[in-house]
């Protein structure tokens, strides 16, 4: 199984809503990532979890709150988002880390988020 599964595939939320994005992998990867991708732009790194601990936060606004309950799951909690936060949110995983030789990184299919 080389899949990274993200749910939901699509999400529309109001600016006062609270929602969560979920990501799951069963490849035994110990590094998991959240990326944000705007149309026709490359993905931008948001957070990295390594061995269930937050290792990188790319100065993401606090309205995005990541959580890694265990080595297979990664959540992104959303609260009080703005319309400009609308984007494709991608989850990825790798083992042991992206910088290691021949480390494969797998991406999920993404959650298309629209903030209204």
Partner 1 sequence: KNQVEQSPQSLIILEGKNCTLQCNYTVSPFSNLRWYKQDTGRGPVSLTIMTFSENTKSNGRYTATLDADTKQSSLHITASQLSDSASYICVVSAPYGNKLVFGAGTILRVKS
Give the interface with partner 1 as residue ranges (CB under 8 A).
4, 6, 31, 33, 40-43, 45, 48, 50, 55-56, 88, 90, 92, 94, 97-110, 112
Pick the closest to residue 78 from 47, 39, 109, 107 (CA basis): 47
Of residues 42 and 69, the one with the C-beta less far from partner 1: 42
Question: Bridge partners of 64?
Answer: 78
The least distance separating partner 1 from the CB of residue 22, rounded to whole angstroms, comes to 14
Query: Alpha-carbon distance 32 to 60, whole Å?
Result: 16
The residue ranges of DSSP E strands in the chain, in sequence order, are 4-7, 10-13, 18-25, 31-37, 44-50, 53-57, 64-70, 73-79, 87-94, 105-107, 111-115
Of 12 and 18, CB closest to partner 1:
12
Q: How far is the CB of 23 from partner 1 (least distance, A)?
A: 11
Q: Which CB atom, from 41 or from 77, has the smaller least distance to partner 1?
A: 41
Query: Residue 80 CB, nearest distance to partner 1 (Å)?
Result: 25
Nearest distance from residue 61's CB to partner 1, in Å? 20
């Amino acid at each position: 199984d080389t899949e990274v599964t993200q749910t939901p595939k699509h999400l529309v939320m109001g600016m006062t809503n609270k929602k969560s994005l979920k990501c799951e992998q069963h490849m035994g990867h110990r590094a998991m990532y959240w990326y944000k991708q705007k149309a026709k732009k490359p993905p931008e790194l948001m957070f990295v979890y390594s061995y269930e601990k937050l290792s990188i936060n790319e100065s993401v606004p606090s309205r995005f709150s990541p959580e890694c309950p265990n080595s297979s799951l990664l959540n992104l909690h959303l609260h009080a988002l703005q319309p400009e936060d609308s984007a494709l949110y991608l989850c990825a995983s790798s083992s042991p880390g992206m910088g290691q030789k021949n480390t494969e990184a797998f991406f999920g299919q993404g959650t298309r988020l629209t903030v209204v």
